Structure 1
Amino acid sequence: MSGGPIRWVGSRAVLVERDTLDEVLALHAYLLDRPLPGQIDLVPAAKTLLIKCDSHRNAARAHAAVHDIHAPPIEQADGKTVEIEVVYDGEDLETVAELTGLGVDGVIEAHTRQTWRAAFSGFAPGFVYLAAEDDTLDVPRRDSPRTAVPAGSVALAGPFSAVYPRRSPGGWQLIGRTDARVWDIEREEPALIQAGDLVRYKAVDRLQREQGDETTARAEAPDTVAKPALEIVDPGLQSLIEDLGRPGLSHLGVSVSGAADEAAARQANRLVGNRADDAVIETLLGDLTIRARGDLTLARTGADTQATIDSERGPRTAPLRAPFALHDSETLTLATPQRGLRSYIAVRGGLDVPAVLGSRSHDALSGIGPEPLAAGRVLPVGAAGPSHIVGAPEPTTLAERDEDKTVALRIVLGPRDDWFSPATRARFTRQRWRATEQSNRVGVRLDLDTDNDNGAALERDRDGELPSEGTVPGALQIPPSGLPVLFLKDHPVTGGYPVIAVVIAEDLPLAAQIAPGEAVRFAVVDPDTLAPIEDDQDDGRPPAEESP
């Protein structure tokens, strides 16, 4: 097996480069069969394999161990053949025809005559990268990604084709549409296409039915849920059920998801005596009102908010970061945060809602998990036993702002900082950025700080496209606009824009509490010690190493 660079991705993951897709898949198969210590997930891509670990120590071990792995080639899997009917009327069909010089009919003929091999999953559940037999339809992504691509869109990018499983952002060239449900959580095997399968596209004049997004959960009818329970009176802007997520499913294109501010979610559960992975309510910008069915013990953490309990005996204040009682028929209302963005509410016994793929978390990108909470939804509460010992009040987990009210996030440069000049990397860390209103659980979109006249977007130092590769929460992806996107818990499994740096895991809870309009600054640290590195043109590590 040929060697390639091994790059750090933050402090808990490494990116291994290989020359071919077959070599990537061979290494992937090897590590699935012989996992490294602390290995929690693998993300194969076109020419890279991302190895995620549970700690920096184990990531460092993986970084060293990969040098000595010589994975044997794998046999072509005996996968099934899937036929997908397509109406070729995509918005980018004529663009692809011009880029390839084939004309519209030639593009359709080239797309349908060959057999496509399912190589790996990424971006979103059910989104499978299908490798072509030749480079006839090798086209670049769009310069400007669409904010919403319809479910069932058939697309091309580089040497791959794919079907978008649900409505989502995307930068691939759209050439047609299908009604094939490539992802359906109600099926025993949710993914229609899996690695090793073969796919044939068939041109048709019309589809049997229109494509639509899959629903993933159903609300409990209020009158079917016995006490104890929590009733949603008003969900506010957005309220979700979250736990610690569903790691280890990247092969299906499923991101970890889970509470955006994991530290606050853990704190809420700790205060009411729950397990760390019990489900909690995550609410955005307050204004949530809930009613108790039965006598309950709650705790609220995260954003600094005022909260009022209304009862027959009159109103009282609910403490922050301390357990409190919410008696039968009493309501709890959260005000708009004074600081921070997301609040968390845990109830002693945990929220007893069905798990989807092993987790009770709602994934905003894929739609997997319980639906966003709506008025009238009643959430059963699990039984609390002697082991549910409530805790004492705790201090805030929110970040302290510096003298100019800026949130400082620590980063490790790479894995693609070499796509930017030293001067651009220095500008990235020296100037302030502003979080925009287009931010969500997928990521925080950053813009220039209008208070800084010297601010500038980031320019790449090289041309060409980066093949899609695995990514992690905290990754700072730089699209063609030059304005960073900071990935949060519902980020896509793979991405196609260079990642200049990764926010360290310890600071991800701080990133999740950045409100629109707040200023952000990045500071480079040593991944081993987390000590600041004064010269932000140097990440304190040797360059990406070549395998023997």
Structure 2
Amino acid sequence: MVIARPMGERAFLLELGSPAEVLALHRRLQATRPPGVVDLVPAAGTVLVRIDPAVISIEAARAWAMSADAETLPGPTRSMAVDLDITYDGADLDETAALLGLSPDELVRRHTETEWTVAFTGFAPGFGYLVSPEWPFDVPRLPAPRTRVPAGAVGLAGVFSGAYPRETPGGWRLIGTTSATLFDPGAADPALLAPGTRVRFRPTVPATGARGAGGGRSAGHRSAVERPLGDERPGLRVVEPGLLATVQDLGRPGAASLGVAPSGAADRGALRTANRLVGNSEGAAGIEVTMGGFRAVAEQHLWVAVTGAWGPVHLGGREIDPYVAHEWMPGVELRLDWFTRGARAYVAARGGIDAPGILGSRSTDTLAALGRPALRAGDSLALADDQQGPVPPAPPVAWGPPPDDEITLDLADGPRVDWFTEDARAALFDAVWTVTNDADRVGVRLDGPLLARSREGEIASEGMVPGAVQVPPSGQPTVLFADGPVTGGYPVIAVVTAASLDLLAQARPGTLIRFRHARP
């Protein structure tokens, strides 16, 4: 039986009983996917369906998804198969074997003789959670996660096996190493281990050649992130990036099933406005500046506009207005002082900022390390060709500073509201919350009353969306943001609406937040 649960106003979860049922439903949904369904994200026991409401309504998408049963859709097909070369040299091999009552050789034999299937991805782009009915073991995670797990490490956790596409912290028990390129953002199929892929591990001696020789990928392939950052059209040079400055457009929706977050501008409305002011397409890439302190020099004649957070903006030593297009002459410095209102400003140059395109977007993903790294002093940024008309003679919209000390955000229903007590559900809307110092592009932690659960235990990993209000066992909620993980294991009590996320992007530590119910 499939149960549909809301995940905000633009997504819902389909809850099933097992990873095998999830894989079957995910395949059937893919086979009949209508326009407007942006993401289909399988997880341990659910499939997340995310939509574009401008193309399909949430009601129509739910009706389509609930009709996806085996009697009306195509039957099973054989999925792609991948052999992964592996050296069984993991730091936890002997201890893990002992925990399972096996010798290390027996554990290796059982692992290699098992045919695995990628149930879902998450944690990092290209990290596949492998399951198999042939694998009878439930392996406990490490008591304390490692702060560094190297790229290519193969591990076990719970009923899953998996391989780390890049260096990252992690708590899985490591039994081996693979040389395969697990995630290549420049490839036609970036994730080697996409959901539904069948996997066998092929033992080998320690590799002496170049990385990427295993798993069917060419070691000589150049990823999109490896091409030079800049071209023959220098636009501007960064003198000082401030606290954090990144290149952002409207993001890369549609890649969550590969473990890739939407990313993009945190305040999408502010970026759209900045682009319109200089005659760009709304989706052109600009510079997102966090808290101010940014300085840059034009290397050619430019038009520039600054929107979003509020603070003194100087061009050539003269203070200028935000939300207005200005000519920016070669050699002249643009300076954004520290912001007095709001947290993120957007600098749009006519033509847009050029950067490597990954999965259709130039955005920097700070969690997954995709796209151009955060800007540094001395970086030169080239211009793209994303203008679509002349610089308009006047601002296209009314403008003003972001809200100061308190904001009100709309909340839509979350899928796990029944995990919380009646008092906790009331407190979510009755309390005044405070943005803590733990706030970045990944998530915003809130301080306020602890939200008590009505049941024990944890949920299996399931799909997440920007705006999801996750509540860990501590009871202190966190709102996931643009670069947040695409799957998670904490229950989601509610989801901040897409419109309110722009407001949240401008919230500074100490900002007070009230929640209200979103209108249907």
What's the TM-score, normalizing by structure 2? 0.87
Corresponding residue for 1:60?
A: 59
1:422-479 per-residue CA deviation (whole Å, 9 max, x = no partner) reads 1222233333433333332121233x35xxxxx3x33332233312211110011122
Query: Which stretch shifts more, 491-500 or 19-28?
Result: 19-28
Please give the alpha-carbon distance, in whole angstroms, between the structure 2 residues aligned to 1:78 and 1:286: 49
Secondary structure of the structure 2 residue equivalent to 1:247: coil
Shift of residue 162, structure 1, vs aligned partner: 1.4
Distance in 2 of aligned mates of 1:499 and 1:162: 25
Q: Kindly provide the amino acid, as one letter, of the partner of residue 59 in structure 2.
A: A
Q: In 2, Cα distance between the equivalents of 1:173 and 1:226?
A: 48
Structure 1 residue 270: Cα displacement: 1.2
Q: How does 1:226-237 map to 2 (within 5 A)?
A: 226=233, 229-237=235-243
1:301 alignment partner, SS class:
strand
Preserved CA contact (<8 Å) 1:97 1:106: no
Cα distance in 1 for residues equivalent to 2:429 and 2:127:
34
Instruction: Give the equivalent residue in structure 2 for 1:85.
Output: 86
Counterpart of 1:39 in structure 2 is: 37
Quote the Cα distance in structure 2 between the aligned partners of 1:93 and 1:484.
39
- How far the C-alpha of 1:503 sits from its partner, in A, is 0.5
For structure 2, which runs of at least 5 residues remain unmatched after alignment?
213-222
- 2:446 is the counterpart of 1:443: no
After superposition, the Cα gap between the structure-2 partners of 1:410 and 1:91, relative to the gap in structure 1 and judged at 3 Å, is: farther
RMSD over aligned Cα, in angstroms?
3.1
- CA displacement at 1:131 relative to structure 2: 1.0
Change (3 A) 1:376 1:338: same
**1:475–1:386 distance in 2 versus 1, CA, 3 Å:** closer
Paired with 1:462 and 1:49, the residues of 2 have a C-alpha distance of 23
Report the Cα distance in structure 2 between the residues aligned to 1:92 and 1:406, rounded to whole angstroms: 52
TM-superposed CA distance for 1:246, in Å, is 1.4
In 2, the alpha carbon distance for the partners of 1:141 and 1:74 equals 36
Q: Which amino acid aligns with 2:292?
A: G
User: Which residues of 2 match residues 289-328 of structure 1 at below 5 A?
Assistant: 289-310=295-316, 315-328=317-330
Q: Is the contact made by 1:435 and 1:516 (CA closer than 8 Å) also made in structure 2? A: yes
**1:55 and 1:142 mapped to 2: Cα distance?**
42
Q: Secondary structure at the match of 1:130?
A: strand
Code of the residue aligned with 1:232 in structure 2: it is: V
Which residue in the other structure is 2:153 paired with?
153
AA of the residue aligned to 1:479: P
Query: Partners in 2 of 1:511 and 1:437 — Cα distance?
Result: 14
Contact conserved, 1:241 with 1:280, CA < 8 A, in 2? yes
Counterpart residue identity of residue 52, structure 1: R
Distance 2:186 2:376 in 1: 22
Confirm or deny that 1:242 pairs with 2:243.
Answer: no
Q: How many Å apart are 1:291 and its aligned residue?
A: 0.8
Offset at 1:73?
6.5
2:47 matched residue in structure 1: 49
Structure 1 position 238, deviation (Å): 1.7
Distance 1:45 1:399, change over 3 A: same
Say if 1:445 and 1:523 are closer, same or farther in 2 by CA, change over 3 A: same
Corresponding residue of 2:5: 7
3-state SS of paired residue (1:264): helix
Q: Classify 1:383/1:26 alpha carbon distance in 2 versus 1 (closer, same or farther; 3 Å).
A: closer
Determine helix, strand or coil for the equivalent of 1:290.
strand
Matched residue, 2:272:
266
- Extract unaligned runs of 5+ from structure 1: 450-454, 529-548
Structure 1: how far apart are the matches of 2:470 and 2:94?
Answer: 28
Secondary structure at the residue paired with 2:375? coil
With structure 1 as the length reference, what TM-score do the two structures score? Answer: 0.83
After TM superposition, the structure 1 stretch with the greater mean CA deviation from structure 2, 367-376 or 276-285, is 367-376
Render the CA deviation track for 1:167-207: whole Å, top value 9, x for unaligned: 34555455554443311234454322233433233567856
What is the CA-CA distance between 1:9 and the residue it aligns to?
0.5
How many Å separate the matches in 2 of 1:503 and 1:384? 31
In the TM superposition, what whole-angstrom CA distance separates every residue of 1:471-492 from its partner, at most 9, and x where no partner exists?
Answer: 1100111223332221111122
Structure 2 Cα separation of the partners of residues 298 and 464 of structure 1? 52
C-alpha contact 2:309 2:402 (8 A) present in aligned 1: no
Residue 198 (structure 1) aligns with: 198
Q: 1:211 to 1:240 in 2, by over 3 A?
A: farther
- Asked if structure 1 preserves the Cα contact closer than 8 Å seen for 2:252 and 2:264, the reply is yes
Look up the match of 1:225.
232
| Structure 1 residues 80-229: aligned runs within 5 Å | 80-90=81-91, 94=95, 98=99, 100=100, 107-134=107-134, 136-139=136-139, 149-168=149-168, 170=170, 172-201=172-201, 208=208, 216-220=225-229, 225-226=232-233, 229=235
Amino acid at match of 1:17: E
* 1:83 Cα offset (Å): 2.1
Structure 1 contact 217–371 (Cα < 8 Å) conserved: no
Aligned to 2:394: 392
Report if aligned partners of 2:242, 2:292 keep a CA contact under 8 Å in 1. Answer: yes
Residues 8-17 or 130-139, more deviating? 130-139
Counterpart for residue 218 of structure 2: none
Q: Secondary structure at the match of 2:28?
A: helix
SS in 1 for 2:124: coil
Summarize the Cα distance change of 1:362–1:119 in structure 2 as closer, same or farther, 3 Å threshold.
same
Amino acid at match of 2:121: S
Q: What is the CA distance between 1:406 and its match in structure 2?
A: 3.1
Identity of aligned residues (%): 41
| Offset, 1:138 | 2.3
* 1:127 shift after superposition: 1.0
**1:293-372 paired onto structure 2 within 5 Å:** 293-310=299-316, 315-372=317-374
The equivalent residue for 1:522 is 515
Determine the structure 2 residue equivalent to 1:543. Answer: none
Whether the aligned pair in 2 keeps the contact of 1:26 and 1:73 (CA below 8 Å) is no
For residue 24 of structure 2, what is the aligned residue in structure 1? 26
Residues 434, 232 of structure 1: CA spacing in aligned structure 2 closer, same or farther, 3 A cutoff?
same
Number of residue pairs the alignment of both structures matches: 506
Instruction: Give the secondary structure class of the aligned counterpart of 2:369.
Output: coil
Deviations along 1:65-86, one digit per CA (max 9) or x if unpaired, are 3333324464252422322414
Q: Which whole-Å CA distance do the structure 1 matches of 2:169 and 2:466 have between them?
A: 18
**Secondary structure of the structure 2 residue equivalent to 1:269:** helix
- Pair 1:512 & 2:505 matched: yes
Change (3 A) 1:497 1:73: farther
Q: Which residue of 2 aligns with 1:544?
A: none
Residue 233 of structure 1 aligns to which amino acid in structure 2? Answer: V
Deviates more, 1:389-398 or 1:498-507: 389-398
Amino acid of the structure 2 residue aligned with 1:46: A
Moved more, 84-93 or 230-239: 84-93
CA contact (8 A) 1:299 1:322 kept: yes
Deviations 1:354-399 (A, max 9, x none): 3222111111122222222222222222458782332533444765
Distance 1:345 1:145 in 2: 39
1:76-117 deviation line (CA, Å, top 9, x unaligned): 52422322414454469747854x555766655543442211
1:89–1:320 Cα change, 3 Å:
same
SS in 2 for 1:138: coil
Supply the AA of the counterpart residue of 2:64. Answer: A
Secondary structure, counterpart of 2:439 in structure 1: coil
Output the amino acid matched with 2:225. T
Deviates more, 1:170-179 or 1:38-47: 170-179
Provide the C-alpha distance between the structure 1 equivalents of 2:97 and 2:172, rounded to a whole number of angstroms. Answer: 11
Aligned AA (1:225): E
Structure 1 Cα separation of the partners of residues 188 and 412 of structure 2? 40
Deviation at 1:319, TM superposition (A): 1.2
Give the structure 2 partner of residue 537 of structure 1.
none
**Deviations 1:32-69, CA, capped at 9 Å, x for gaps:** 23223532221122221111111287112222333333
Opposite residue 364 of structure 2, the aligned amino acid is H
